[in-house]
Amino acid sequence: MKFLQKSLNAKLTKSDLLIVFGCNDKKIKLPQGVKVPASALESFNCGSGQKRITDSIKGSFQQVLIIGLGESKKIDAENIRRAAAVAAKEAMRNKLGSITYWVAKSYGFDAGLFGQALAEGAVMGAYRLDSFKKGTLDLKKITFHTAEIIKRGAKRGIAIGNGNCLARRLQDTPANKMRPRDLVREARKISKNSVSISVKVFDETAMKKMRMGSLLSVSEGSSEPAYLIHLIHRPKVKTGKKVCFVGKGLTFDSGGISLKPSGKMHEMKYDMSGGAAVLGVFDALSAISSDVEVHGLIPASENLPDGKATKPGDLVTACNGLKIEVLNTDAEGRLILADALAYAAKKIRPDAMIDLATLTGAVVVALGHEITGVMGNDEDLTQALVEAGKRTSEMVWPLPIIDLHKEEMKGTVGDLRNISGPATGAGSSTGGAFLSYFVGETPWAHLDIAGSAWGSAQRDYQGGDQGTGVGVRLLIDYLESI
Ligand code: BES
Ligand code: MG
Ligand code: ZN
């Protein structure tokens, strides 16, 4: 897909469809030289998300699509995003090849944010996993004709939208085509295309040397080797802040010897969604940059049972020296994160560390598919993520980690066990409590995205039986906020 940005008064790019927005308390404005039947404008009320497609009687477009934004005073980023996505979806439904958004004003809403939400919605709305089907994608070109300040926001929006779509493509790709080695390839591609981003990849030999026995134990039963991917974005001007994002990159979770029921096992291709989000963030950073030094760690692994697989009861040692009893091989996310977090705390020493992981089924029960659970050891960091969630409509809700939860994760043979006793409940909190043993003194937040990473409700730009790319927009907003 190609995205072009033009100024408002530039000669209109010829395309299959012109898209304009309207509010129900304002007159609809069309670009000079474009005319539609008066009746089409008069009978349309511009309610939020409403659409009207009409033939154009003059100008370089065959058709004009008018999208409603509702009342001008009530406009927010989410309804702009959704309106833009409705337009992109309509174009795809009609198999159009190129579309043009024309936006002259932001109706009193912040112009930069208007542009950002517009482009995010258009880019995300046009997402489709097409690479495995015969035939080519119809929609190939999206042009934005906008006023100047809107244009700057739209540039960000295109980058962030692209990052989100990258994450979703990695999520939706079947697990036999998105193995740990494929995540490595994606990371290398991102770093190659950006001067500010570099990547280091630790293979199993390197991880053995680093004594990452916990991470390594998870893929013992898989013929696919595990990797630890370390991306770094170094800003041109350093502000002194350094953050680290850690994303669970479990490319398929069968549960291992503690095998999952087969009914929904195919959904476990999404178990790399945290890693996908980190890659999406770096993809966005390659286009819009940030003054923050950003590190991205992705432990990439596949959890399968075979004769070599880790067994329930086995004892493994993480790189910080803690011995872990693996009582359930399906609680593997925390095992690969343990070594990644300990490595980050000791070697990267960031000012803040945020992990994203499809860690527990319990968070799906508690918060469903619209909300990410957050917990950690730093109230300010947690609150910053909750606020970023409000601004991006990637909602984040705090869950507790109490001393009891930490106590519950202590082992009998080893220092820790990877699941709590059966009577404790609070499965998401005990998962977080386990991770807390590996972060040292680093301010840390854990985002449990097991629900929010896939299968969200219909939001026009995402929703239904697919990945959401959750975390990309959230963390880019967080970086902007610090
Ligand atoms: N990948 C799962 C968590 C998950 C569940 C993600 C549903 C997406 C949807 C994770 O590795 C897992 O299996 N967790 C176990 C932990 C338990 C054994 C303590 C779970 O939630 O059942
Ligand atoms: Mg292996
Ligand atoms: Zn699991």
Q: Tens digit of pLDDT for each residue in 340-393?
A: 999 999 999 999 999 999 999 999 999 999 999 999 999 999 999 999 999 999
* pLDDT band for position 41 (cuts 50, 70, 90): confident
DSSP track, 139-208: --EEEEEE-HHHHHHHHHHHHHHHHHHHHHHHHHS-TTTS-HHHHHHHHHHHHHT-SSEEEEEE-HHHHH
Q: Are 376 and 446 in contact (CB under 8 A)?
A: yes
| Cβ atoms 409, 427 nearer than 8 A | no
| From 30-34, 186-190, 235-239, the region with the lowest mean pLDDT | 235-239
Contact 289, 235 (CB under 8 A): yes
The confidence score (pLDDT) of residue 451 equals 98
User: How many other CB atoms sit within 10 Å of the CB of residue 7?
Assistant: 12
The angle that helices 148-172 and 180-192 make with each other, rounded to 10 degrees, is: 160
Which CATH class name applies to 165-481? Answer: alpha beta
**Alpha carbon nearest to ligand 1 atom 16, residue:** 331
pLDDT band, very low/low/confident/very high, at 60 (cuts 50, 70, 90) = confident
Note the pLDDT tens digit of each residue in 139-176: 999 999 999 999 999 999 999 999 999 999 999 999 99
Compute the 3-state secondary structure of the chain and give helix, strand, coil in percent, each to the nearest 5.
Answer: 35, 20, 40
Q: Is it the case that residue 14 has pLDDT exceeding 90?
A: no
- Report whether pLDDT(132) > 90: no
Pocket test for ligand 1, best of 310, 330, 465 (most atoms within 8 A of CB): 330
Cα(371) to ligand 1 centroid in Å equals: 17
**Mean pLDDT score of the chain:** 96
- Report the percentage of the chain scoring pLDDT > 70: 100
Domain with CATH 3.40.220.10 in the chain: 2-148
Mind telling me the catalytic residues?
A: 260, 334
Is 2-148 CATH 3.40.220.10? yes
**The pLDDT of residue 130:** 79
> How far is residue 393 from each of residues 1, 109, 171, 459, measured CA to CA in Å?
25, 17, 20, 10
The answer to whether 61 and 17 have CB atoms below 8 angstroms apart is yes
Ligand 1: which of 248, 359, 429 to mutate, most ligand atoms within 8 Å of CB?
A: 359
- The three-state secondary structure class of 21 is strand
CB of 186 closer than 6 A to ligand 1?
no
Share of the chain above pLDDT 90, in %: 92
**Ranges of CATH 3.40.630.10 domains, the chain:** 165-481
Compute the average pLDDT of residues 203-226: 98
The ligand with the least distance to the CA atom of 216 is 2
The 8-class DSSP code of residue 410 comes to: B
pLDDT at 439: 98
Query: What's the pLDDT tens digit per position in 261-305?
Result: 999 999 999 999 999 999 999 999 999 989 999 999 999 999 999
Phi, psi of 68 (to 5 degrees): -85, 140
* Residue in this structure with the two tokens 């301010």, named with its chain if needed: 443
Residue 135 has pLDDT above 80, yes or no: no
With a cut of 80, say whether residue 137 has pLDDT above it: no
Of 169, 200, 173, nearest to 184 (Cα)? 200
Task: Tell me the pLDDT tens digit for each residue of 463-482.
Answer: 999 999 999 999 999 999 99
Q: Which two tokens stand for residue 330?
A: 């399906």
Q: Is the dihedral of CA 48, 27, 94, 159 positive or negative?
A: negative
Taking residues 120-148, what's their average pLDDT?
91
* 58 CA to centre of ligand 2 in angstroms: 64
CA atoms within 13 Å, Cβ hemisphere of 122:
33
Q: What is the pLDDT of residues 138-149, one digit of tens each?
A: 899 999 999 999
The protein residue with its alpha carbon nearest to ligand 1, atom 22, reads 361
Per-residue confidence (pLDDT) for residue 326, from 0 to 100: 98
CA of 235 from ligand 1 middle (Å) equals 36
C-beta of residue 446 within 8 angstroms of C-beta of residue 248: no
The pLDDT value recorded for residue 13 is 83
Instruction: Give residue 373's pLDDT.
Output: 99
Q: Which ligand is nearest to the CA of 366?
A: 1
Residues whose CB falls within 8 Å of the CB of residue 297, separated by 6 or more in sequence, listed in order = 228, 229, 230, 231, 244, 245, 246, 247, 278, 340, 343, 344, 348
Distance 100 CA to ligand 1 centre (A): 43
Give the number of whichever ligand sits closest to the CA of residue 303: 3
Using alpha carbons, list the distances in angstroms from residue 1 to 80, 98, 119, 139, 158: 21, 10, 13, 7, 11
Confidence band for 239, pLDDT divided at 50, 70 and 90: confident
Ligand 1 atom showing the smallest separation from residue 430 Cα: 19
